[in-house]
Structure 1
Amino acid sequence: MKLHRLQQLETYIKKQGSVSLEQLCQHFDVSKNTIRRDIQTLEARRVVKKVYGGVVANSEDAPIPLSQRQLTMKSEKAAIAAKAAEFVRDGDIIALDAGSTTVHIVEYLKTKHRVTLITNSIPAITAAAGNDQLHVIVTGGDLLHTTNSLVGQDAIAMLKRLNAHTAFIAATSVSLEKGITNSSLIETDIKKAMMEISSRRMLLVDHSKFDTVSLVKFAELREFDALITDAPPPSEYRLYCEKYGVQEVVADASQPQVSSLPIKK
């Protein structure tokens, strides 16, 4: 319950920019003591800054460690990953970035055969180690501890030598005005490289990411072939997707189901 509230609180503050403690108490229907404790937690993560009488979003937008991100929206992220895995065919080559949602895809590839997995995610590599049907290609590079991923020019150079059928990409924030953004500058180069080498690009984000903005833009929503999320996005996003031919795929967090929807070629 607290983790869910913290995620909602973070999203709300980022959207508002600045907000008073009174407003937060009223919006979330909790006491000032509860809000103060939550703010203290978010401040420790460098997500927000306390000011007199309230709080502001941290303009530095420091990345939240992967270990913390994996604790939020767990069922939603698992459902999104399960839905994404339904679009992986036997013999496919897929690129998987180091997001806390995309890493779950590996768990749902057990019924697939002869799949090649290209990734810079240490947790994904570990999860794939027990599946002998997966051919795993590791990007190499420097270890980024906050995301437990491999980054840098060596990783990008390795990616540019390869080709993939589908890239599964996560993001910190999604905005029609500001585009698809991420909180880590160094990670965005990896995401861009994975998109460039792939014939299809799928964006995986839970519903809390919409109408939020993070540090650095790495793509526009229209650059993706599909958007996979856990709840119907706001109407303006649906209209945007229709206009640019981005397929919407909504996963059921209570019971992930097999998708019968064709993916755009």
Structure 2
Amino acid sequence: MGKIIAAERQKEILKLLHDNGSVKIGQLADYFEVSRETIRRDLSYLTEIGAAQRSHGGATSIYEFGNIPIETRINKDADIKTKLCEKALEFIPQTGVIYLDSGSTIVHMAQLLAQRAGCTIVTSSLSAANVLLNSDNTTIITGGQLNPGNMSIEGFQTTSFINTLKVAVSFLGTNGFEQHKGPAVSDFTDAHTKQAILPNAKINVVISDSSKASTSALVQYASWRDIDYFITDSNLPKPMYDMISEMTKVILVDVNS
């Protein structure tokens, strides 16, 4: 991101806080291409005016969005997420390995796969693995460090393991993509995990409801050109549809009927 004045940067920090719940000083410094000390001054100012709360290494939203458990996020717009994942089932191969990303929408994909048998599923999501626990599928969990906020596994061990894989299809999520030219997430570690699977999957599918089009997550993990299919609902704004369609195949699912 090019250099911007302090007021504009602080406004953008507040938007990132609203969308993601929390921010880290190092991530913001990289994102805005400024020093950590500059970000510390921004966060101190935002705290002084009551717009943010300081935390260890960064700040959190005064609305505590980041503390919403994944179980709550899974239940939000559950019908829409299920319909999107039902469409995504069309990409499940007769044979081959499936990769499931972390995130609330992908848990709905796991719920549908749990009703099937004979699949080999690799996942970095403990929530998805728990759904698949008693299914007639083979479930493989990536190693790594637990992220309790997202109930996912991440870090060097995770990416190292993923780099040894070849899968038929990966199903990926996003925290938002406004202001980006591809799907984005809230932190760099999650982005690294997603980036690791992209070259190792024959087909990459992003599943997301259209509300993420108006949410700006912190870091883009891929260009839409790196994604083979984007499955979303028919409420996606037309300008966003037109832009993304130039780079990948967008599949709109009617969720209003």
Structure 2 unaligned blocks of 5 or more: 1-10, 24-45
Structure 1 unaligned blocks of 5 or more: 1-13, 19-41, 256-265
Is 1:208 aligned with 2:214?
A: no
1:234 alignment partner in structure 2: 237
1:127 alignment partner in structure 2: 131
**1:180-205 CA distance string (max 9 Å, x none):** 21112221111111222101111111
2:77 alignment partner in structure 1: 73
Q: How does 1:1-265 map to 2 (within 5 A)?
A: 63=66, 64-110=68-114, 112-132=116-136, 134-175=137-178, 177=180, 179-244=182-247, 246-253=248-255
CA-CA distance at 1:141 after TM superposition: 0.9
DSSP 3-state at the match of 2:169 = strand
Return closer, same or farther for 1:130/1:253 CA change in 2, 3 Å cut-off.
farther
Contact map agreement 2:178 2:217 (CA 8 A) in 1: no
2:35 alignment partner in structure 1: none
Name the CA distance, whole Å, in 1 between partners of 2:254 and 2:82: 10
CA-CA distance at 1:84 after TM superposition: 1.2
Amino acid at match of 2:220: K
Contact map agreement 1:99 1:170 (CA 8 A) in 2: yes
Amino acid at match of 1:118: V
CA-CA distance at 1:51 after TM superposition: 8.7
* Higher relative contact order (Cα pairs below 8 Å, separated by 6+ residues): 1
Name the CA distance, whole Å, in 1 between partners of 2:125 and 2:185: 16
1:30 alignment partner in structure 2: none
Amino acid at match of 1:253: V
Contact map agreement 2:171 2:206 (CA 8 A) in 1: yes
Name the CA distance, whole Å, in 1 between partners of 2:165 and 2:77: 32
Give the aligned CA root-mean-square deviation in angstroms: 3.2
Runs of 4+ that moved beyond 6 A? 49-52
Name the CA distance, whole Å, in 1 between partners of 2:234 and 2:79: 12
CA-CA distance at 1:60 after TM superposition: 5.5
Amino acid at match of 2:206: L
